[in-house]
Structure 1
Amino acid sequence: MEAFSDGVLAIIITIMVLEFKVPEDHDWGALVELGPKILSYIFSFVYVGIYWNNHHHLLHMVRNMSGRLMWLNLLLLFWLSLVPFTTAWMGESHFAGTPTALYGIILMLAAFAYWLLQRAIIKQHTSDSAFVMAVGRDIKGKISPFLYLIAILTAYVSPWISGFFFVLVAVIWFVPDKRIEHALRSR
């Protein structure tokens, strides 16, 4: 499941970069015109990288592979596979309200799918395991949907405000989940 997921995430990143068209002009100004597309790509590249990193750590906590886990993993990959579309639309539209809000909705649904996958893996462990105890205080997971909701709602007010909340969630998750790393070491 991990190798399949890694492949899908690599394809998602590849699709995003293929959205770039080479400018016809041959000066730096041509790249300035691509600014919104480049910025939306950077957002999404970082997000996909964060999911890849945290997903990698999470899958190391799987004790028994099951059909349920495989389907929950596919649900996560489904939402992440929509990131290239929303990334392109957001960049093309120069962060217009609806594309930016949809970007946030997709990220929030991916976060929900990640949470479902995490819950299913938690059920494979005893309630006193280091993994369950560490993840049980899931402050990142509890605050992220709230921040995504703010980003979605503010997308129609200002793309800068919305972008701030996207960046804030990314910063929160940028460092791999130390709780899971600690639980892996204590196995």
Structure 2
Amino acid sequence: MNTNRFETFFDAILAIIITVLVLKLTQPASPTFGAFLALNARFITYAICFLVIFIIWYDNHNLFQVVEEIDNRVLFIYALQIFAISILPYFATWVALNLNSVAAQTMFGVLFIAIDILYIISIYAVYRANPYSCGLCQANFRSVYKYIPIAIMLLGFIITYTVYTPGIYISVLLSVICWLIFSRLRRPDNGSTDRFEAFIDAIIAIIITIIVLEIPMVANGSWDAFLDIKLEFIVYAVSFIVCFNFWNYNNNLFSIVNKVNHKVIWSIGVALFFLSLIPYLTTFVAENSNSFVPCFLYGLNFIVVAALSIITANALKNSDKANIALQLALADNKPFMTTIVLVVIGMIIGYFIYPLAIVIACLVSIITLWAISYYGNRY
């Protein structure tokens, strides 16, 4: 059977899972760096899960560029894999809250081993469904390297049950690093952008939807009660514009992009990770608008996404050097540098005078970027 509908279904599920992970993050006890850093285990776990899911999508994206058809056996195995991935946020939260719990560590490790084993089985099932595919043979998806993460996780089980309880957690982290390295070993460069664009669109759409879920309900039916939460709406509006700006930039950019490579995909993937934190940071700012730390973290996240956009632009130029329109559109990074400078200025004002100046600076920087793009006819 044809793979197009399955790819769309698979991508949609991963996009939902990868974005709802942020809902499992709890707000700091107070708007301070200390309280924020006290949640380090939860953020590390969140990053691990995000990275794992993105690696799974990336490998699947690469695999299905050379797959011609699939059968019911492949669908069944992928259904099991999707189930395992879908419960990842639950067990990730459990282990993040109970790092010294053997039960939580065990279930976390078992789940990751199951995901890895199901991935390996799915590869063999795909090969069996496409016995004469030259692309599969050349791609070398059945490399022996894929067994190394399982060995590392099994070692983590031994450590957890004998010496150090968080051994499984650490072994999972090391295994994910191995997955990242080995996923790059089997990359077909210069692939089509259609599936990647759809995946980006799905993630951003869900992020925007999640942001509005964080707005508290009005206490009663009066105007005064509604005006009491006006700040939440203002911060939500800014966050919406930030997300939409990222989508709009990529939409305009990919309209002239002919092909992408692994560097482009991973730079945008990292940007999506930081973008996925916007719902969390929006709530953090809205609940502590007079504190510098939440606003600073919001602005810092904005700067990181802008910097990653510059990295993406450079990667795109290198991946498609023959594309004259693309080279001209990305010839100058000054607009993004301008946005970064404006937010840094906002941070200075926020530290000394008014914390929300940082959020305002993010909005002003986007308006400035739009103005430069419009009057400079960049796209």
TM-score range, shorter chain: 0.7 to 0.9
Give me the whole-angstrom Cα distance separating, in 1, the residues matched to 2:236 and 2:210. 11
Q: Which residues of structure 2 form unaligned runs of 5+?
A: 1-195
Asked if the contact 1:9/1:52 (under 8 Å) is kept, the reply is yes
Render the CA deviation track for 1:33-69: whole Å, top value 9, x for unaligned. 1011111101101111111111111123333232222
| Amino acid corresponding to residue 287 of structure 2 in structure 1 | E
What does 1:74-85 correspond to in 2, within 5 Å?
74-85=269-280
CA 1:163–1:72: 2 relative to 1, 3 Å? closer
55-64 or 140-149: which moved more? 55-64
Asked if the contact 1:36/1:95 (under 8 Å) is kept, the reply is no
Instruction: Give the corresponding residue for 1:106.
Output: 301
Determine whether 1:174 maps to 2:370: yes
Asked if the contact 1:131/1:180 (under 8 Å) is kept, the reply is no
* RMSD between aligned residues: 2.1
Give me the whole-angstrom Cα distance separating, in 1, the residues matched to 2:284 and 2:328. 40
115-124 or 3-12: which moved more? 115-124
Determine whether 1:2 maps to 2:197: yes
Render the CA deviation track for 1:107-134: whole Å, top value 9, x for unaligned. 0001111111111111134489243234
Give me the whole-angstrom Cα distance separating, in 2, the residues matched to 1:86 and 1:99. 7
Match of 2:250 among 55, 59, 68: 55
Report the 3-state secondary structure (helix = DSSP H, G, I; strand = E; otherwise coil) of the residue aligned with 1:12: helix
Render the CA deviation track for 1:2-38: whole Å, top value 9, x for unaligned. 1000000011111100002222211011111101111
| Amino acid corresponding to residue 77 of structure 1 in structure 2 | L
Give me the whole-angstrom Cα distance separating, in 1, the residues matched to 2:363 and 2:265. 30
Give me the whole-angstrom Cα distance separating, in 2, the residues matched to 1:102 and 1:159. 11
Identical aligned pairs, as a percentage?
Answer: 24
Determine whether 1:96 maps to 2:324: no
Instruction: Give the corresponding residue for 1:21.
Output: 216
Query: TM-score, normalising length from structure 2?
Result: 0.45
Q: Which residues of structure 1 form unaligned runs of 5+?
A: 182-187
| Amino acid corresponding to residue 161 of structure 1 in structure 2 | A
Asked if the contact 1:79/1:110 (under 8 Å) is kept, the reply is yes
Match of 1:65 among 260, 271, 294: 260
Instruction: Give the corresponding residue for 1:153.
Output: 348
| Amino acid corresponding to residue 238 of structure 2 in structure 1 | F
Instruction: Give the corresponding residue for 1:184.
Output: none
Count of residues in Structure 1 that have an aligned counterpart in Structure 2: 181
CA 1:55–1:70: 2 relative to 1, 3 Å? same
Kindly state the Cα deviation for residue 147 of structure 1 after the two structures are TM-superposed.
1.2
Flag the structure with more relative contact order, 1 or 2, with Cα contacts below 8 A and sequence separation at least 6: 1
CA 1:96–1:31: 2 relative to 1, 3 Å? same
| Amino acid corresponding to residue 216 of structure 2 in structure 1 | K
| Amino acid corresponding to residue 170 of structure 1 in structure 2 | I
Determine whether 1:46 maps to 2:244: no
